[in-house]
A and B are shown apart, each in its own frame.
Chain A
Amino acid sequence: MSLPSGVRPASTADGGWVGDFGRALRAEWTKLRTAGDMGRLLLLAVALTVAVGCGTAKAVKCPDVGCGQDVVRLALTGVTVGQAVIAVFAVLAVSGEYGTGMIRTTLAAVPNRTTVLTAKAAILTTVVLASGTAAVLASLLAGRYILPGNGFTEAHDYASLSLAEGPTLRAAVGSVLYLVLIALLGLGVATAVREAATAIGIVLGLLYLFPVVTRVVNDPEWQRHLQQISPMTAGLSIQATIHLDELPIGPWAGLGVLAVWAAAALLVGGLLLHRRDA
C-alpha cells in the first residue's frame, strides 16, 4: 500500500474516533453514491420541486391590488412534493441496507452504532443540502420570471423575488433546512422500523395526515394547536414572508418543531440500533 505504514494502525489501534468517523463517512458516501437509484432519486426530487413550483406559479394569477398571495411561498410550493422524494431517499439509505443484508457488513466494519448513524446523518445532510439548495434556487428563479407575467408586479405591490430581501432569504435557507430535517426524520424512522414500506408509510403519514385532519377540525383553537405540532405545517411556516403574525407558529419556531420531530426519530432509531443485533 502506498499509505505510510504508521497511519493505519494509529487510527484504529487507539480507537481514534475521528479516524473511525472519517472512514465511516467515506464508507457511507461510497454506498450512497454507488447504490443504484440514489442519484436518480435526488434528481427527481429537484425536478419535481421545481416543476410543481413552476406549475403553481403559472396557475396563480393576481388580477388586482391586494391578492393576499405570498409569492415566495407560491414559488416554493414544490417543496411539499419534493419532500416525499427526499423522504424516500433518506429511508432507502437505511432500509436498503436492511433489505439486502448489507447492514450486517456495515455494522461488522463499524460496530459503534453512534458512529454509523452519525456518519449516515452527516452524508445525508450534505447531499440533501446540495440538492435542496439547487431545487430551492431554481424554484425561486423560475418564480422570479413567471410570477410578474401573472400580475405579481410592482403595480400590484409585489416586488420581484430576490434573495437580497431578508424574508425571502430566510424562506429560501429555511426551505433547504426543511428538506434536510425531512431527510433526518426519514433516517430516524427508517433506522427504528428497518422495513422500507413501513418507514415510508410512517414518514408520509406524519407529514400529510396533520394537514388533512386539520381541515375538518371545527374548533379554531384545536386547529391552531394541530398546526403548531404538525411537522409539515409548522415546518413550512419558514416559507412565509407576509402576514407573519397570523401564522399559527413563527417561522423559526415552526422549523424548530420539525427539528424536534427529526431529533426524536433519530433518538428512537439510535436507541433501537444500539439495542439490537443488526
Chain B
Amino acid sequence: MTATLTPHPSPPATRRAEWGGFLRTLHAEWTKFRTVRGWVLAMAGALLSTIVVGLLGTAAPAPGGRGADSASYPRGPGGEAVNDSFYFVHKTLTGDGTLTVPLRSLTGMADTGTTGKTVQSTQPWAKAGIIVKESLTQGSPYAAVMATGGHGVRMQYDYTRDAAGPSGMPSEESPRWLRLVRAGDSLTGFASTDGSHWTEVGHTKLPGLARTVQAGLFATSPEAKQDTAAGTGFNPAVATGTFDRPVLSGGWSEGAWRGTQVGGDAGTSGSYSNALKGGFAQTDGGGFTVTGAGDIAPVVGGPVMGVGFSVENFLVGTFAGLIVVIAVGTVFITGEYRRGLLRTTMAATPLRGRVLGAKALVAGGGAFAIGLVAAAITLPIGERSARGRGFLVFPVTSATEVRVMVGTGLLWAAAAVLALGVGALLRRSGTAVALVIASIVLPFLLAASGVLPPSVSEWLLRVTPAAGFAIQQTLPQYAQVLSVYEPSTGYYPLPPWAGLAVLCGYAALAFGLAVVRLRGRDV
C-alpha cells in the first residue's frame, strides 16, 4: 500500500517509467521486424525494385540518335529551364536609352494539322513588342513590353515574371504605342493608345545587367493549342507584328537593324513549318514587320515540354516498392493474428495504443528509410543516364530534389502506417493489402489514364490516398504559358505537401480507428 502513502507521485518519474515502457515495446517490435527474414528480404526487394523499375522505365534510347549530353534546356537567371526563342530585330544599346514604337497589328498563322494547310489565327500568348536583352544567348536576362494575342499589353521580364497592362488588341484604327525605357539597371514599360497619354505597364530592376545590351523589336508565338473532343493537340504557329518607324533616344549604335532568330529554332513550345517561317522586312515608312515562333517563358510540363524527362519520371519504381511496403506493413500486424503471437504481445504490453504506436514507428521508420535511400540512389543515376543518352531532363533546384527524396520516404512511411492500421482493423492480410494497394494506386491510374474528364481526375487526386503522389511533382505551372496542366500530364491538383497531408490523414484515421477497435476487443 505504499502507493496510497504518496498522494502526489512525482510526475517525472511516472513519465520516465512510461517512456521506458514504450522504449521496451519499441525494442520488442523492432526485434520482431528485423528477425523475420521474409520481411527484411521484402524491404530489400522494395529498394531494389524501385531502382530497377525506375531505371528500366526510363531506359529508352533517345529519338533521332542525338549525341551524348548534347541536349539541355537553356537556363534563365533563376536557374529555371526556359524557352528563349523569338525573331529579334535589334541594335546595340550602350548605357541608358528609350525605344518608342507604334504597333499597328499583331496577327498570326497556324497550321491546321492537315498537311500544309494554314489558317489565320493569333495565339493567346503570341507576342510582339520591344525587348531589351543582355545578349543573344538563350537564357540571358531581359525585359520586354509587348502586345499579346489574347491578354492585352504585358510587361514580362526574366522569363517567369509577368505584369498586366491595358487590355485589347492593336489594330489599324487603334494601334498600340509601346515604350521601353532603360535607366541603369532599371527598366520601365509603358503603353499608350494615342502616343501622347502613357500608362506604366510595369517596372523592374535587373541587377547586374550589362552596360551594352541588344534591344529592338521582336515577335514570337507558341504552338497553337487545339482542343478537340478527342484530346489536345499542338500545331506550328507564327505571329507577325507590324510596327511603324521606331523612335530611339539614348546610346543606340549607328548601324543598321539586324534580324536574328534567337535560339536558332523555335524551342520546345513553338515550331515553324514549311509554310510558316520567321523573318523581318522593312516597310516604306521605316517601319518593320517581324514574324517569329517560339516563346520567351519558363518551360512547363505537358506536350510543350518536348521529348524529355522530369525528375518524378525516374521515380516510377516508387509504385513497385510501395506495393511491397504495403504488404509488409499489413503482415506486420496480421501475421501476429495468424500465428497467435499477438496474445503474447498484448500480454507483455497490455496498452493497445502503445503496441500499435511502436509498430507504426518501426514499420513507418523502416519504410521511410528505404524510400529515402531508393529515391536518393535512383535520381542521380537516372538523370545522368538519361542525359548521357541525349534526353532533356527538366532541371530542378537541390531543395526540390531533397523534397522529392524525403517526400518519397514519407510517402512510403504513410502507406506503411495506413497498411498497418487497415490490417489491424480487418485482421485479414489479403483483404487489407488489396484495399490499401487499390486505394492508393487505382485512383492514380484512373486519373492519369486520361479516360476521365480532367475535373473528375483532379477530384480523384484530391480526396483519395493517391493525392500523396503530389509530393513527387516538380513540374511548375505558369498562367502565362499555355499547356495541358492535368493529371494525365503529371500535374496534381494539390500542392506537394498538401497532397502528402491527405495521405497522412488517411493513415492517421486508420491508425486511430485501429487503436480504438483494439482497445474495445480482447486481441
Give residues in A with beta carbon < 8 Å to B: 37, 41, 56, 59-69, 73-74, 77, 80-81, 84-85, 87-88, 91-92, 95-96, 99, 195-201, 204-205, 208-209, 211-213, 215-219, 222
User: Which chain B positions have C-beta within 8 A of A66?
Assistant: 228-230
User: Which chain B positions have C-beta within 8 A of A199?
Assistant: 430
Chain B: interface residue count, which band? 35 or more
Interface flag for B151 (CB, 8 Å): no
User: Which chain A positions have C-beta within 8 A of B370?
Assistant: none
Contact, CB under 8 Å: A74 / B451? yes
Shortest C-beta distance, B281 to chain A (Å), equals 40
User: Which chain B positions have C-beta within 8 A of A196?
Assistant: 428-430, 433
Shortest C-beta distance, A142 to chain B (Å), equals 16
Contact, CB under 8 Å: B456 / A59? yes
The 5 closest A-B pairs by CB, nearest first: A68-B230, A219-B60, A196-B430, A197-B429, A201-B327
Nearest chain A residue, comparing its CB with the CB of B61: A219
> How far is B448's CA from A63's CA once the two chains are assembled, in angstroms?
22
From B70-78, B98-106, B266-274, B434-442, the one touching the partner chain is B434-442
Contact, CB under 8 Å: A88 / B431? yes
Contact, CB under 8 Å: A84 / B434? yes
Contact (A212, B338) CB under 8 Å given A67-B229, A205-B320: no
Contact, CB under 8 Å: A200 / B229? no
Interface flag for B331 (CB, 8 Å): yes
Contact, CB under 8 Å: A213 / B53? yes
User: Which chain B positions have C-beta within 8 A of A91?
Assistant: 430
User: Which chain A positions have C-beta within 8 A of B243?
Assistant: none
User: Which chain A positions have C-beta within 8 A of B177?
Assistant: none
Q: Which of A37, A67, A77, A201 contacts B324 (CB 8 A)?
A: A201
Contact, CB under 8 Å: B391 / A218? yes
User: Which chain A positions have C-beta within 8 A of B511?
Assistant: none
In the complex, which of the residues A77, A92, A216, A222 has the most CB atoms of chain B within 10 Å of its own CB atom? A216
Interface class of chain B by DSSP = helix
Contact, CB under 8 Å: A197 / B58? no
> How far is B452's CA from A205's CA once the two chains are assembled, in angstroms?
23
Contact, CB under 8 Å: B453 / A60? yes
Contact, CB under 8 Å: A211 / B449? yes
Contact, CB under 8 Å: A56 / B451? yes
Interface flag for B122 (CB, 8 Å): no
> How far is B230's CA from A64's CA once the two chains are assembled, in angstroms?
10
Interface string of B433-473 (1 = CB under 8 A from A): 11001100110111011011100100000000000000000
Shortest C-beta distance, A156 to chain B (Å), equals 9
Shortest C-beta distance, A4 to chain B (Å), equals 42
User: Which chain B positions have C-beta within 8 A of A74?
Assistant: 451
In the complex, which of the residues B309, B430, B449, B456 has the most CB atoms of chain A within 10 Å of its own CB atom? B430
Q: Which of B53, B229, B323 contacts A204 (CB 8 A)?
A: B323
Interface flag for B280 (CB, 8 Å): no
Sampled A-B contacts (25; CB under 8 Å): A41-B431, A66-B229, A66-B230, A68-B229, A69-B229, A80-B446, A81-B438, A88-B434, A92-B431, A196-B428, A196-B429, A196-B433, A197-B429, A200-B433, A204-B437, A205-B323, A208-B319, A212-B316, A212-B448, A216-B58, A216-B313, A217-B58, A218-B307, A218-B391, A222-B60
Contact, CB under 8 Å: A197 / B441? no
> How far is B437's CA from A176's CA once the two chains are assembled, in angstroms?
23
Contact, CB under 8 Å: B442 / A85? no
Q: Which of A80, A201, A216, A217 contacts B433 (CB 8 A)?
A: A201
Contact, CB under 8 Å: B428 / A212? no
User: Which chain A positions have C-beta within 8 A of B326?
Assistant: 201
Shortest C-beta distance, A265 to chain B (Å), equals 16
User: Which chain A positions have C-beta within 8 A of B228?
Assistant: 66, 68
